[in-house]
Structure formats: C-alpha cells, structure tokens
Structure 1
Amino acid sequence: MISTKYVDENTIGVVAIMGVTYTGMYEPVEQISEALDRIEERTGLDVRIHVDGASGGMIAPFIQPDLAWDFRVKRVYSISTSGHKYGLVYPGLGWVVWRETADLPESLIFKVSYLGGEMPTFALNFSRPGAQVLLQYYMFLRLGFDGYRRVQQTSHDVAKYLSGEIEQMDDFTLWNDGSDIPVFAWMLNDKPDRKWNLYDLQDRLRMKGWLVPAYPMPVDLTQVTVQRIVVRNGFSHDMAEAFIKDLKSCVKYLDGLRSPMPSEARASGFHH
C-alpha cells in the first residue's frame, strides 16, 4: 500500500529510488505513478516523478528490461544515476536526464559568458575535470550493451548465490534477496541465550578482511538492525564461496561465547 497522505498542493514532485541505500530494493515506480493518478482524479493535482536511479539506473536496463520504471511511465520526467556505482567508473561522475528539454526549468540553467560566447550550464560549479566523462564514454564503447549486461548479470548471480546461502543459515532472515540490484540485507533471528548481535558479527568479519556493515534501519524502524552486502564487478563466485566459509566460521565462534561481547561505544558500521 502506497501512502498518499503527504501529497497535497504544496508537493512539487515525488522521488522514487531504484535501489534503496539500506537494502538495495527498488521502489515501485509504476505503482507510485498509479497512486498519483488517483490523486489527480480526486484533486486535480498533477504531480511528477523523479527517479533516483543512482544504482538501479545502471542495472535495470541491462538485466530487467521489462521493468517499467523509466520514461515508459508517463509521470517520470527526470532520472538521475551515478557512473561511479554500477556504471563501472571511479567516483565523481553522475548525471540527470529529462524527458524533454522543456521539462528542465529555465531558472535552473546558468548562461555564462565565456571567451566571447554564451555557454549554458546546469551544474554546481563551472569548471570541472572531464576525466570521469571520458572514462564513462570509453566504457560504453568498450563494453557496449551486451558487455554491461554480462557484467551486471554476473554480479546479480553472485548476490543471489550469497543470499541463498545466508538464507539457509538458522541464525538469519533475509530482508531481501538481491533480486533488484545486487545488494541485499538480513536480520538476526531471535535465539534464547545468544551472546552476540550483528555488530559483533561485523567486527569478526572485519578481522578476516570483510567489510560488511551492520546498522539500524531508518526512522520508524530504528529498532531493526540489518547487515548488508553489496556485490560489484570483480566480486567473483570464488570470493563469494570464501566469504560464506568465513561467515560460518565467525558465527560458530560467536555461538561459543560464554558471555556477551563488550558493547561500550558501539557505533553503526554504515558510513558514506
């Protein structure tokens, strides 16, 4: 059920996320659009959608082509994504596209007089290096659509393998299984007399070289702690098997504790 109580005459737009940071799940763009259709029928308010495709914008077109989240959905007027996530480019690159030129407000475009000519720009600053753009262009040419499809499918397959193995462990319940972007999270099952939590598991995994953050969910779900895996290009099936072996080893060690681990100054392992 999609809540519409926050949409009124002051709403300038609704943002749908293709790959929520906490879990990697897609928000249902098409269903959000349908909910906004019902609001327009009832109130006359025509509310547009911006899709934050920071991760999923470089996943869905290649391995989930039938999923309607982009300009096929009539209320989607702009889409942003990040090349440095699943675009296979180093940090610093992102972009936004609009359905039509007219959909970008003129007030957001700066016309700069530069070396005798006028240059329109939509950016936070004027002078920026172009290396990231060049590398993204190279990657598009080098891999092509099929190359990106194979890369993203491999990451997706590894994520599904990992989530399947973790789901079979009695200690955990999956929040999601990585069916959207190759990211998934899990929770710790209740178990009498358990002496550890996901923060303890995070620390044990770190000792073996794995950075797998544990953190609370956002407002209204802060009592729920999850742990998350992000699978990206280069994380091979062999590495996944090694991780599962270490995960089981860490759980076995923690299950053998006779008293709880120290928890003073415990902080979330989730950081940007």
Structure 2
Amino acid sequence: MRLWEMRKLLLVWELLDHQEAIMLAGLAFKRKWQQKRKAEGKPFDKPNIVTGANVQVCREKFASYFEVELKEVKLREGYYVMDPEKAVEMVDENTICVAAILGSTLTGEFENVKQLNELLTLENKETGWDTPIHVDAASGGFIAPFLLPDLECDFRLPLVKSINVSSHKYGLVYAGVGWVVWRSKEDLPDELIFHINYLGSDQPAFTLNFSEGASKYAVELVLCLFQQLILLPYSFINIDICCKIALNKSYTMPTDVQHIALLRVVIREDFSRSLAERLVSDIERLKGNGCAPRPHYLV
C-alpha cells in the first residue's frame, strides 16, 4: 500500500505545521495560475480559491495574506461540509484551485473528493479551464489510507495536485510537524524554491519559516525508519470535566447554520465503551435538566 497513492515520491516538504503547508500549497497554485494567465496574455490580478464555509481560519489567512479572493460554499442544515456541485458552480477562469477537506474541523466528516474531481473534470472540458484540486488532509490523511483504503480522495484522482497532512496529530512526533505533498515536480513552480549553499551542500528551501530546531524531524525520521506508525490520540479528558464542558459551547457552526453549537471531546485510544456510555448519559441528563441543547452525535 502506498500512502495517498504516490507512485513516485517526487516532492514532499516537511514544515512547521499544516497551516504553513496550506499557505505554501495555495501559493504554488496561485503562481501556477499566474504563469498560465501571463502566457495567454490574460489578466492575472484577481485570483480566487473555492472552499467550504467549514474551512479552518488558516485558509482565510492565506486569502488575506496572499491577496486571493475566498469563495466559500455555504453550509446548510444536515449538510455540514462543502457541496461539490455548488463548489463547481462557483469556479471561474480566475479560480486557482478548489480546496477539499478530508476531516472537517467542525465535525470530522470527509468531503467527497471523488465527486468533486468528476464534476470539475466535466467543467474543465466544457470551458477549457484547468482548475485543480487541493486536499486538506490534516485530520484524515493518516486515517483514510489505513481504515478506508478504497476511498478515492488522493492522487488516484487526476485533478488532485497536492495534499497536506498533519503528522503530529497521530503521536510519536512533537507537536507542530506537517507535510505537503505535490503530485509532481511540475506542480510546484521552481521559482518559489530557493537554493541555499549551507554547510557545504545545496539545500532547496520552500518555507515561510527559515530556521527552527530539528529535534522533531529527527524523531519522526527514526520512527519512520523503524516503521512504527502507531495512532496515539491526545490526552484523555476527565469524564466529569467533559460533562461540565457540555454546559458551554465549544464553538458554533458558520453562517446559515450558526444556531448549531458543537462540543468536541478528544479521547485516548483506551477510552472504553462504558466510559462512552457514561459520557452520553451525562450529556442526556444535562439536556433533560435544560442545561444543554439536544445533542447531535458525530463519531
């Protein structure tokens, strides 16, 4: 099995975290789009990116910092991820890419990347555009290949040009380790890569952060060499604390479904069924006392 169906390991950049990965992947899409527009003698000053309203704030940062219009597909009751059909409807000649999420921050759901690829392929054929896809797999990048190997959400889909993942979410590495993987060398403009002659060798660099400690990368390298990829979730939150948290909203959904409040509980691998039943029971009890809204469970 190959992670994300990488037939050739061409370009993998290990970065400060997945937010930096998203920034750099977006910058690569913008530069590729600008190069194409310049070659065609067309305006290249109004790029946009299409994504769902469930996007994390780092996507908004990218749009603001790098002057790219952010087009968000609104969510609706009962459908809390980007609708592929509505996303493609928002695409135009200035769209640098459509960004899909594999593991929404709000609900953990996977967006339908395969359907998005199919619809966008038809749109590109009809219009003559070449709009690509980026997959933000910060949360699901190390889950789908192992638990859902038949789920087509990676480089098996022709329009997927880059994928970012967050390795520190799965244990065995220090917090703040993220990757961005490009489909091929051609998908990352060479003009964005700086070649540094440092310590006697050429070191290509494509980062926003120049210098940082190497300890976390060394640990990850050693563990990868020993092939010890183990899923170790975060620290366990005491069950009583969880029930108290249920009295408050962790966060609310985006515009149009902002009346829905979410409580996210992070648990350890050894969180038992009996503890899960206690948690649900306590939330139901709080709901019965009028202290908590009607829960909607997403596993």
Change (3 A) 1:213 1:91: farther
Give the Cα separation in 2 of the matches to 1:246 and 1:53.
Answer: 28
Compared with structure 1, are the counterparts of its residues 226 and 113 closer, same or farther at alpha carbon in structure 2 (3 Å cutoff)?
same
Give the counterpart of 1:92 among 150, 154, 176.
176
- The residue number in structure 1 matching 2:205 is 121
**Higher RCO (CA 8 Å, separation ≥ 6 residues):** 2
**2:179 partner SS:** strand
Letter of the 2:285 counterpart: K
Pairwise CA distance, 1:243: 4.2
Separation (CA, whole Å) in 2 of partners of 1:82 and 1:207: 25
1:242 is aligned, of 257, 260, 275, to 275
* Structure label with greater radius of gyration: 1
The answer to whether the 8 Å contact 2:243/2:282 transfers is no
2: distance between equivalents of 1:139 and 1:210?
36
Q: Tell me which residue corresponds to 2:263.
A: 227
Shift of 1:139: 3.1
Aligned-partner residue type, residue 38 of structure 1: L
**Distance apart, 1:50 and its partner CA:** 1.1
Map 1:111-150; keep pairs closer than 5 Å. 111-115=195-199, 117-144=201-228, 148=230
Tell me which of 104, 107, 113 is aligned to 1:20: 104
Q: Does 1:70 align with 2:154?
A: yes
User: Number of paired residues?
Assistant: 202
The change in CA–CA distance for 1:218 and 1:250 in structure 2 (over 3 A counts) is closer
TM-superposed deviation, 1:15? 0.9
Letter in 2 for 1:139: L
- Relative to structure 1, is the Cα distance of residues 31 and 256 closer, same or farther in structure 2, using a 3 angstrom cutoff? closer
1:52 to 1:254, Cα distance in 2 relative to 1, 3 A:
closer
Give the structure-2-normalised TM-score: 0.59
Structure 2 CA distance, aligned partners of 1:98 and 1:87?
24
> Equivalent residue of 2:122, what SS?
helix
Q: What stretches of structure 1 of length at least 5 have no aligned partner?
A: 156-203, 262-272
